Structure 1
């Protein structure tokens, strides 16, 4: 895992070759920045830091740079992006790579250079000789989506790394409000740390006051209010979204998507799938499955089917001008509230 590499780097244990692969680009970018901070100072960046896109540059050109002695410093850092030759995919460019040169470098890497392969691919082709050799020689970091416990630990570590503490209930609320996007979470955590000031303590009250709700999260909360028969609060959220110039047709689409998710989670759970399996099958974060499962238990299969049909009918009326768009969603919310009464 990339998070394990962070711990090593923070202990100033820097290796010669890294392979970072996976779809979570934030983790790859953070690892690269951490290596920059540990290996180079500002004056050395112009001379001893290079990045190469291997869709455009042959590997042997980049490795010549890695074998060049550092100038005005002790270390060089070379970032090699998009090593598509490690996968079964076809390269988008027309670059021919001399992979024997890479094999030679892996056998005897330059002691004064750190070479980092950043591969934004979910899987590598383990059948290829060069992939096997690189994985044998490099420190491997898989940048995959964090599980819920990992995500919460990451939030705590992010706060601690910036000299602040964060309460457990505050961590839970941040994830609930902001979702699992690490770029967004980073922005919210940094904002909370700044607000905490000299106290350096973040609590749930601060999170509730400051953390921005995504449109998707507002829709989830809106449905949750309906589920618990709080129609006035649900309508207040809806009216706030309209004031923010959110289009009714987009709001309706997200409501439809949430109810489809409830139906899918309920059906897959009945078939014996666990939450992790459901997340993998639907290609969504397990935390979303957990939240959806909590809402789905308030609806029967028939209610979910009827609700999805109700939303489909409203969508048709919106697109054909059958009724005022804003009013259509109000009517759906009232109908859902009555069903749960």
Structure 2
């Protein structure tokens, strides 16, 4: 359980693809995407379409009876190696803990899949401990934003599609870590690829998602880091004219993440690229140069002042100590303070 969501997901997924099934699975957590993918994979892998007619049952927690689930799980499959039972929305299942009676001694010919979304079962409960001994427990956590670019690249790679780091970061800055919103955009980009092309570019994203390849938080951050006042002002002016597509809250979040990481870099014994990658848990060296540039153009005292300003302007953008200044005016003032 100490492994990351992505690595744990890959491990469970690979076992299912290799038909190394467990008799009972508990998929739980706040990120529904990984739970749904693993459940669908089991549904597609365990039984043939013909076998499903007699050997697949689906229960829904809100109206299911736990005793009926248990008695169904103890039956033998009909003309198949396994029977598959899926319990969806198990967080609404009355007397959930009674599943421990079955989890202690599950049927090897039954594969019981329990989907527990929007939260987790207390790992101290007997039912979880029993499933850990006889089956598989996977906790699907929300990915942090700094994990999303790698997720985007991995998702596309499985489909034979490439994407550069800048484009992956553009999508992350625009969509955030909400995978339910991200996947439809990736699917849209997949079908929008010109025939014969297998690489997503910033130009393709601009045409199909609506993110400007020249005027976005990624480019603003680059301008701020390099202290390119002309470019920063041009982007801020664009944001001011297109506030719905470029909310100030998202811009502040991007800048806060960068400068918080930059501050950590000042305390490193060694400030070379590899040390920065290790300290910030970065998978690619692509963005390390931004931190090397930041270390040259800013000092630790200034970065602490910037972080304080970001907090202040975040509050002002929400109406705290601000009567009339627009989001655009606030952003212009904030960027000026950062760069001067």
Above 0.5 in TM-score? Answer: yes
Other-structure match for 1:109: 107
SS of 2:193's partner is helix
Check whether the contact 2:27–2:116 (CA below 8 A) recurs between aligned residues: yes
Structure 2 distance, partners of 1:313, 1:155, is: 31
Could you say if the C-alpha distance between residues 68 and 177 of structure 1 is closer, same or farther in structure 2, counting changes exceeding 3 Å? same
For 1:247-326, what aligned pairs fall within 5 Å after superposition? 251=248, 253-270=249-266, 297=295, 298-307=297-306, 312=312, 316=316, 320-321=322-323, 323=325, 325-326=327-328
Gaps of 5+ in 1: 85-92
2:165 counterpart of 1:172:
yes
Check whether the contact 2:86–2:113 (CA below 8 A) recurs between aligned residues: yes
What TM-score results when the alignment is normalised by the length of structure 1?
A: 0.67
Check whether the contact 2:60–2:90 (CA below 8 A) recurs between aligned residues: no
Could you say if the C-alpha distance between residues 202 and 257 of structure 1 is closer, same or farther in structure 2, counting changes exceeding 3 Å? closer
Other-structure match for 2:186: 189
Could you say if the C-alpha distance between residues 59 and 213 of structure 1 is closer, same or farther in structure 2, counting changes exceeding 3 Å? farther
Check whether the contact 1:48–1:73 (CA below 8 A) recurs between aligned residues: no
Structure 2 distance, partners of 1:194, 1:247, is: 23
Structure 2 distance, partners of 1:277, 1:142, is: 25
Other-structure match for 2:5: none
| CA displacement at 1:50 relative to structure 2 | 0.8
Other-structure match for 2:229: 231
| CA displacement at 1:35 relative to structure 2 | 1.6
User: Which digits, 9 at most, give the CA deviation of each residue in 1:10-45, with x for residues without a partner?
Assistant: 334444322324443321111111122224567847
For 1:1-341, what aligned pairs fall within 5 Å after superposition? 1-39=8-46, 44=52, 48-53=56-61, 57=64, 59-67=66-74, 76-81=83-88, 95-97=94-96, 99=98, 102-104=100-102, 106-109=104-107, 111=109, 113-120=110-117, 125-144=122-141, 155=152, 158-159=155-156, 161-162=158-159, 164-166=160-162, 170-179=163-172, 181-199=178-196, 201-204=198-201, 209-210=206-207, 212=209, 218-246=216-244, 251=248, 253-270=249-266, 297=295, 298-307=297-306, 312=312, 316=316, 320-321=322-323, 323=325, 325-337=327-339, 339=340
SS of 1:107's partner is coil
Check whether the contact 2:309–2:334 (CA below 8 A) recurs between aligned residues: yes
Other-structure match for 1:87: none
Could you say if the C-alpha distance between residues 57 and 222 of structure 1 is closer, same or farther in structure 2, counting changes exceeding 3 Å? same
Could you say if the C-alpha distance between residues 328 and 110 of structure 1 is closer, same or farther in structure 2, counting changes exceeding 3 Å? closer
More helix, by proportion: 1
Check whether the contact 1:22–1:142 (CA below 8 A) recurs between aligned residues: yes
Check whether the contact 2:63–2:93 (CA below 8 A) recurs between aligned residues: yes
Could you say if the C-alpha distance between residues 185 and 258 of structure 1 is closer, same or farther in structure 2, counting changes exceeding 3 Å? closer
Check whether the contact 1:177–1:213 (CA below 8 A) recurs between aligned residues: no
Gaps of 5+ in 2: 1-7, 270-274
Could you say if the C-alpha distance between residues 189 and 68 of structure 1 is closer, same or farther in structure 2, counting changes exceeding 3 Å? same
What TM-score results when the alignment is normalised by the length of structure 2?
A: 0.67
Task: Quote the RMSD (CA, aligned, Å).
Answer: 4.7
SS of 2:127's partner is helix
